[in-house]
Every structure is written in structure tokens, then in C-alpha cells.
Structure 1
């Protein structure tokens, strides 16, 4: 797919939204790299995987992704003999644990998601001992090795703690001794060069025997390590060196074990990323109420919405185009023509990317290209006018379009002389209708609307304004051209009435009459739709009343049966009681 068309149709915003729905960095990376496929089998596979993800989400049994991160670089470094940090090792251990949990969840619900379970099966269960070994020897937050990582490390760290305590106690004893107290600048123990020291007055240097490690900025204080703790500190340094060597040995040992499983770790990360992407596709598709697509040779979108618009306010459109090869959409500016183009274009891109387009019903071909020329192509840097930029794009579209292509052009051949632009638009659309599977353009050219009415395989469609408020309706009506309503729009936006009136007088009478006829047709169609909707509501009310009457009749019959049964039981009891009384009387 052409990147220019993807950008024009706002597909990058779609993949960013998709990336935001992922749970792992690898899933987000795959989402941002997602492009529509032109291969029928690949599109079917993507849609099948998304359907499985939706089934898992609806059953609330989607796989967990907690703890998983992209550890491929760390694993590759270990495979080359590098030593990993505790933080990197901890991330690897957590990633293995997260991947195995995801696989277990998919295994448990394999009947709902066999393709996703097949992806999960790539996660090697034999990685579990490596994760357990890392977890046993490395702190979970990756801050350090555990003291219990080896018996020697535990002994050395115990020795270090006890040694620090002995040094601290000896320094505290010295700082409290009468012989030294008056010579100290402060009575606390400081650190210089990794050695515990006392803050001694410079004038009393000879009164505190020891090694001077530092001096204050003013020169009034010397930081002295008393000779009484030098040997203790030396033993501490030796133990610290041995502890560092043991840490490096353990890290090297764990890193070697990771390097030996680098390939399996890479597969785990990629498999969980792919599963995460599938779940994100399902999540996003459900969020905007996407519909499964029936692959066919014709475009049929009912109740379709632009996926980036607020679903609460977006007006759904119907594009049931059948075998049409060209559609000309006309109508007022801001009336929804461009949104209709983008809605169809994005529906195709979403379908071929593995997402469900937001619609009530969706039927689409698998296009080999979605080619679009939407927006202002002006470029000062490239010395291109708006018209030149459009023509450059149209040349590229003609070079690329095939019998399987979808072509979307906003304001075809606009930005130039209207007579020449109209002729060029008709010639271009004639060629594109022959060359591409489906071409949809928007226009204000009357001649192009006439072309669509007179050409086999082509049709008009209209967007319109509310006749009372003159606000855009954002609906698409197939089968008739729309009017631009330029004068009404200008008047609505505050242009002086006399200017609008003068402009209206300058329009050819036949053009005004055509516009009036189109407006009347539009109003009649709207009235018919409203009357049909009212009739449907009345029929629904009648059906509901009839249903209620039937329910009430059933309830009354049930109550009648209860009364009859109760009366019968009462009669039986009365007869039994009378018989009993008669028997007692005879006795």
C-alpha cells in the first residue's frame, strides 16, 4: 500500500490507537508496523485471529501479558558471551513467566482460539527452569543478586555486614572518648573513598593518629581514618572484593544459561507480541463496534462510521454500491463528502489489516491497492500549486491502479479553470472507471454529475443540508447528485444579504432551476424517509400492543385455569367432608 494514501486516510492514527491497546512493547511495535495486506489468504488469517481474540474477550478469558518485556537484545548479548545485569536477568525471568502464563491460558481455551493457541505453542515450556533459577538467585526488582544466590555469597555478605558493624562501633567509641572528643569537628562518622572516617579539626591533626583521606573546602576539617580501624577496614575491603568476584561469577553463570536459550527467548517475545497484537485488534474492533466483513466482489457498507470520530456523534452512512465502478459524490462543503471517502477507504484498510470496520453490515473486496488523493497537495518547497500537486498524484494513481484497486479522489481536477477542469475530470474518471475496480470522487462540477448520470456502471450520490437550519446532515444518498448550496452556506456564515442576492442573480436561470429541482428532490426524499420511519414506528407500536394483548390474554387464561383448579379442589374437599360427616352420623 502507498504510504501517501495511508497518511491521507489517517491510517497512522489508527495504528497509534491500536498500539495504545497493546500490553507489551513488542505488541506496540508490531501494531505501529502494521500495514494492510493485499493477499486474500493473509487477510482471511488476520480476520480469523481477530475473531478468536474477540471470542476470548467476550468470554473474559483473554491471555495475561503481565511481566513480559522485549528481552531479545539482552538474550543476544548473552549469546555473544556478555554478562547481564541483575535487572536484565530479572526481566528475562519475568518475561518467561509471563509467556508461559499466556500459553497456559490459551491451552485452556484452545477450542475458542485454535490459531492463537497455535501461536502460543511456540513458547517453549522448557524455559521454566531458567526462569526459576533466575528467580531463586536474583531479586525480583532486579536491584541485586539475592544473598542466597550461593553459599559463598551469603557468607561474604554476612561477613561484610558484621565487619561494618564492628567498624562503626569502634568509630563511635573513639568519637566518644574524652581524649579525642575535643579534637573532632563533628561527632558523626563520614565516608571518604569508601572508608569510614572521623571529621577532625585541622589544628588537632597530630592528636588523632590515622590516615588523612580528604579535607573540607575551607581546610578547617580533615577526614581521618584512625589507625585503630585501618586493619578492620582492610579486612572489609578484602571481603568486598571477594563479594564482587562472586557476584560476577554468578552473573556470568546465569548469563551463559540465558545465552544458550537465546533463540527460544526470541521466539517467546515474538509469539507473545503477535498474540498481544491480535488481542489489541479484538479490543479496538469491539470498542468501536466493528462488524465482521463478508469478502465479496462488491462494496456493501451499512451503518458505517469513521473510526476516529466520536461514535456518539458520528452519523453512520450507507454505501451499498453493488457492481458500480464509479461513484460521484456531490453536495455542500462540510457536508460529509470527504468523510464518506475516508470512511470507505479506512473500512478497506482496517479489513485488510485484521481489524473489523465500524459498521452494522460490511461486505468488501480485498483490494490490491487503496489509492487516495485527499487534501491540499500544495508544496512551496517543491514549487507545486494545489492543482499541480493533485495532477502529480493522479499520474501516480493511473500508473498504479489495477482491476483490484480502490481509488478515492477528493475534488477531482479542481483548482484550475472550471471548464478545463471539468473536462479533465470527466476524462480522468472515464479512464479510472475502466482501469480500477472502484473509483469514488467528490466534486462540485455539474458536468461530472451529468457524466455519472449518463454512464453505465457509474452513479451519483449526494450529501445535503438541513432545509430549516442549513446545517450539514453528513448523510450520503445514492442515486442522485447533490447541490453545493454555496450561496446558502455563505449567507448562513454571515455574508451580507445583498452580496448573496447579487450572486444569485448572476447564476444562469437554468442552473438555479436545476439546483431548485435537486433541493426539491432532496426534500421529498427526506420527507419520504421520515414518513417511512414514522410508519415503521407505528407498526412497531402496533406490534408491541398486539404482543402485550397476547401476553395479557395468556395471563388471563392462566388465571382462569388457576380459579377453575381451585374451585375443583374446593368441591372435592367439600364432598369428602360431607361424606365423612355422613359416615360419622351413621355410626
Structure 2
């Protein structure tokens, strides 16, 4: 399925959806999102997305909730640990956000939707939130957390002021002893910066020294006792602070079940509103879901194409057949069209809206794709080999509930064989009962689709006048590559166009149908200057002894398709001969024909070839003419 996600760019849809989520749990859920196979759950998921989108459109986005580290906080409380002031503050912030979210959903109830009633399951734990707010702020325990803590901190402040006053008095009274005019704290003790030479003049304990050793930081004996009292007060403050943190942690532990339910519900709402935001960003709508194997898309737009410029897709499959073969020029939008259908199918079964005017999409057990150049250098696989490998896996997996999408069917090999392979693949898909879309350039595949029940032709419209694709899918009509039209518009002479048409389709209007003058017409192409090859002078012995002479009745092989035929007119002065193919007569250069069996080995010496090559009408006319002149009687030659 990941291969399909990448080909249809569903992974990019998930990345975009993830941008609208705020919680890690919602993002993780999005990264694991896959098409659901339960019709009821798909429809409910789509309804939730629709309600979220309605709320966003009418009421705006809900308040963002940060739950970073909340799971670790819950785990610490469960295991009997002590939460830090920062962790408690995050918990209180989350509860405040729950309260705002609950109020937002309450305001949305007038919309008469089901989603706002999730607020009934949200509990902001206002008592716990208030207790945390009154006790912890800015990452530390507040003085107001307890009367005892307030008294201790007041005693600490008074003693610190007394210490500083006394130390500064010593500093001012003996300035020559000190390297600086300020007191400092070293290792938690209040010290004076004494010059090394005056160490003995300032009684006290050396707590630290400068990097050069020229200054000693001494705690004067006169304030040592006060420093000791201050240290004891600070120990008491730390003990009281820890007692308060344990008390608050116990309160959190008492409400863990509610906190976990709030967390779970907020993560779910975050996921739902992310889907609603994605829908709003791409102007999506809720598609209908069916199990009748029908796909209908009206004014569909690929999510990653500009809404202002994209040509809307009109698509229908499953009502009159299970397969569509799309033909048309390169860069005409065939691949975008089939990708859009496949992407819509995946999005809908994941509960996501699709960007279109209206859609009715069937449930699929799997979406199977082979799109793009599958060349694999590391495994030494050509484009054709890679395609066939993928297609065989798809044929093996496809069933009545599958959607199969194949691009450039049968490409990458000999045109004749590729056409046969393409038709064989389509026949297998038809027999499997799956829904399928395929693109191709082969005219024989178009004919197969036209004549086969359950398969419909479609084409991408193309403006032959402007040489621009119209990117509009037209179901029911076969397309063409438009290569000849493009070549003509780009300056290729008519004579070359007629020859190209004859060689491509076996049509005669380019030569014989226009009379002998067209046979004498020379192709005139304006050429630019360039290097000139100096040819060796030919002698009489250089004559091409390999040139073949054909007679009526010879069995021949016609290249490049390697189809068998019978010569019905010998080579003319232009080197062309007429060959009877299984379904029509064609004129072809003798160099593209190889003798298989000579006529002398196949037919008696006096065999009447008109039996094979003439119409019944011509044979009757000849028979009458042999008896004498026949007025108004003529023999028509094809």
C-alpha cells in the first residue's frame, strides 16, 4: 500500500494534514492513516470531518492545546514520583486550555451538530487548576503556597539584608584590603574580595580564589555565624517547597483518570479539526460512499493543482462498465486524471474530504497502481520489465472489489507486441471483475475497448489549431495522439504527412487516391547547411544484387509489424507494391517486404488470382466483357 500511496501522492496529503495537527498523538495517528474497509466507520469518519469543517467555517478554529510532556507527567505521578514546578505548571496550563476548549464547543452547540457535545466528556478540573495556579508560577513555588513557606522566605530575606549590610560596612571601612568595592557570593556563602597580601588583615575562612590567585574570596568571621543561620533557613525553605510539590503531585495523581480522558479526547478532537482544516484549505466536500462499485466525480480537482487554473474532471465508472481506456496526446492530462480518481478513492476511505463539486465513491478493498517510469537500475530492470513485473503483481492481487490504475499500458517495447500485451492485460482485468482505468496510445486497444462489453473509451481533449491540450476528459470517445496534426502545424510538408499517415495507418489518400501526380510529387524540405559526405563513385559491379523482384501471389512478410500478406500488384516504377493483408490492401515500399514463399510454390502455373483479389462484381464484369462490348460496364480497381 505504501507503493500506491507514493505513486498517487497520498503520502503528501498526509504530510499536509499533519501540518494542521497540534498534538503528537494526532500527528502519529495521521502518519498511520490507511483506508478503512468498514463502510459504517468510513461514513462516520466523513461526517466527523464535515462537522469539523462546518464549525471552522462558522466559528473559526478551536483554541490550541499544548500537551507537550503530559504523558511523562502522568507516568511520573502514577509511579509515585514528585513533579517539578515546571511540570505542574504545564499541567495547570493544559487544564486551562481544556476549560477554553469546553467553552468553545458549548458555543458551537447552536449549529445542531454532534461534535460539540464532546464537551460533556471534558473536565477542566477547575479545583486542581486553581490550586496549581495559586501555588506555582513561572517555574517555581509561590510564597502563597503555604503560610510557613511565606514566613521562612521573609526570614531569609531579612537575614540576607543584614548580612549584606554588615559585609558592606567592613568593605567600606578597609578599602585598601580589597580588590573590588562589592560583596560576592561564592559556593553559596557571602564573601569579600581580599587582596592576597592582606589575607591576614581580614580574619575569616577562604572560600575561593580568582583565576590568577591574586584575589581571595574570604567569608569574614564577623558574618560567618549569620551565614550559618541563613543556610539553615534555606534548607527549611527547600524542605517546605518539596512538601508542597508532593502535595500538588498527590492531587494530580488523584485525578489521573480524568486527566488521561481529557488528553485522549483532546487528541481526538485535534485529529478531527485537522481533517476539517485540510478540507477548508482545498475547498473539499464530503463524498458519498457506496458498495455498488460506482465512481462519479463532478468538477474534480487534483489537490495539488491550482484551483484557479485546473480544468475540472468529470468522471464516471461502474454504471455502464467496469473499465475505461483513456487515450489522447502526451501532456494532455491523462496521468493527472487517473491519479485524481485513485487519490480521491484513498482519501474518502480515510475519512477525508475531496476537492470537487460532487462525488460518489465506492469502497475498494485495495487500490493497485502502475504509473510512471518503473526503470530499476539496481535490479537491472528496463522500463518495460519493471512495468510487466508490477502489472503481474497487480493481476495476481486484483479482485472484484479492487480499483486498478495502469498508465501507458504496453509501452516500452515493440509496438505490435506491446499492443497485444495491453489487450491481454485488459482482458485479464475484465475477467477479474475489478474496476480499472488504463491509458494507452495503441489504436488497436481503442478498437478493442469499443468492441468489448464492459469497457469504455475515453479521451483527453486536444485543440489541433493551437496545439494545446485542453485537459478535459471526454468519456465515450476514443482519442488520438495528434502527432500528425502537431507535425503539420510545426511545418512538416503535406506530402510527408500523407506518407506518414499511410505508413502509420495503411491509408492511401496520400498517394494513389489523389492520382499519379501525387506519386510524382517530391517532398521539399528546407535544409540548413552542414557537413557534406564525399561518396565513392559507383561502378557497374556495385549494383544491388539483393534487390528482390516480387510477382502476384507471392507470400510475403511485411515489416515492421511482421504480418503476413500476399502480393496482389507487382512493384511499380516508384518501388511500391500492393499487398493483400488479412483485412485490407496496402501499398508499401518493396524494401519493407520479405519473400516467404514464391507464388510458383503455392499456386498452379495458370491460376486465376482474380478469385483472391477481385470482387465478385469485377469478376462478373470481366466475364461479360470477354463475350463482347458491354455498354456502361466498368471494372473498378482498388
The TM-score with structure 2 as length reference comes to: 0.73
Question: In structure 2, what is the equivalent of residue 43 of structure 1?
Answer: 42
Question: After the TM superposition, which of the residue ranges 324-333 and 481-490 deviates more from structure 2?
Answer: 481-490
Report how far residue 474 of structure 1 moved.
2.0
Question: In structure 2, what is the equivalent of residue 235 of structure 1?
Answer: 229
Q: Deviations over 1:38-59 (max 9, x none)?
A: 2100111111112222232233
1:315 aligns with 2:311: yes
Question: In structure 1, what is the equivalent of residue 269 of structure 2?
Answer: 275
Which residue among 149, 152, 155 is the counterpart of 1:156? 152
Report how far residue 345 of structure 1 moved.
1.3
Residues in 2 aligned to 1:465 and 1:397: alpha-carbon distance in whole angstroms: 31
Question: In structure 1, what is the equivalent of residue 402 of structure 2?
Answer: 405
Instruction: State the structure with bigger RCO (CA 8 A, min sep 6), 1 or 2.
Output: 1
SS in 1 for 2:469: coil
1:422 aligns with 2:419: yes
Q: Deviations over 1:188-230 (max 9, x none)?
A: 2333222232222222222222222222222222222222222
Report how far residue 9 of structure 1 moved.
1.1
Q: Deviations over 1:292-327 (max 9, x none)?
A: 222233111111000122212222111123343111
Change (3 A) 1:362 1:228: same
Report how far residue 486 of structure 1 moved.
4.6
Q: How does 1:273-422 map to 2 (within 5 A)?
A: 273-296=267-290, 297=292, 298-321=294-317, 322-422=319-419
Q: Deviations over 1:330-372 (max 9, x none)?
A: 2222221111112111211221122221111111112221222
- The 8 Å contact of residues 200 and 223 in structure 1, kept in 2 or not, is answered as yes
SS in 2 for 1:284: helix
Residues in 2 aligned to 1:124 and 1:52: alpha-carbon distance in whole angstroms: 22
Question: In structure 2, what is the equivalent of residue 167 of structure 1?
Answer: 163
Change (3 A) 1:216 1:477: same
- The 8 Å contact of residues 22 and 66 in structure 2, kept in 1 or not, is answered as no
1:201 aligns with 2:195: yes
Change (3 A) 1:91 1:385: farther
Structure possessing the higher radius of gyration over alpha carbons: 2
Question: In structure 2, what is the equivalent of residue 463 of structure 1?
Answer: 460
Question: In structure 2, what is the equivalent of residue 566 of structure 1?
Answer: none
SS in 1 for 2:183: strand
- The 8 Å contact of residues 410 and 422 in structure 2, kept in 1 or not, is answered as yes
SS in 2 for 1:102: helix
- The 8 Å contact of residues 213 and 224 in structure 1, kept in 2 or not, is answered as yes
Question: In structure 2, what is the equivalent of residue 445 of structure 1?
Answer: 442
Q: How does 1:511-526 map to 2 (within 5 A)?
A: 511=505
Specify which structure has the higher proportion of helix.
1
SS in 1 for 2:197: helix
Question: In structure 2, what is the equivalent of residue 59 of structure 1?
Answer: 58
Question: In structure 1, what is the equivalent of residue 542 of structure 2?
Answer: none
Report how far residue 114 of structure 1 moved.
4.8
Question: In structure 1, what is the equivalent of residue 584 of structure 2?
Answer: none
- The 8 Å contact of residues 329 and 462 in structure 1, kept in 2 or not, is answered as yes
- The 8 Å contact of residues 59 and 108 in structure 2, kept in 1 or not, is answered as no
- The 8 Å contact of residues 68 and 98 in structure 1, kept in 2 or not, is answered as no
Give the count of matched residue pairs: 506
Report how far residue 488 of structure 1 moved.
6.7
Report how far residue 506 of structure 1 moved.
5.1
Residues in 1 aligned to 2:332 and 2:41: alpha-carbon distance in whole angstroms: 36
Residues in 2 aligned to 1:154 and 1:96: alpha-carbon distance in whole angstroms: 27
Residues in 2 aligned to 1:499 and 1:234: alpha-carbon distance in whole angstroms: 107
Q: How does 1:218-229 map to 2 (within 5 A)?
A: 218-229=212-223
Change (3 A) 1:23 1:436: farther
SS in 1 for 2:298: strand
- The 8 Å contact of residues 202 and 222 in structure 1, kept in 2 or not, is answered as yes
Question: In structure 2, what is the equivalent of residue 559 of structure 1?
Answer: none
Residues in 1 aligned to 2:98 and 2:486: alpha-carbon distance in whole angstroms: 59
Q: Deviations over 1:474-517 (max 9, x none)?
A: 2212122222345677899x9xx779997985564453979x9x
Can you give the 5+ residue segments of structure 2 that lack an aligned partner in the other structure?
511-638
Report how far residue 449 of structure 1 moved.
2.2
RMSD, aligned CA: 2.9
Q: Deviations over 1:60-102 (max 9, x none)?
A: 1664334555612320221011222222212222222322332
Which residue among 246, 253, 268 is the counterpart of 2:240? 246
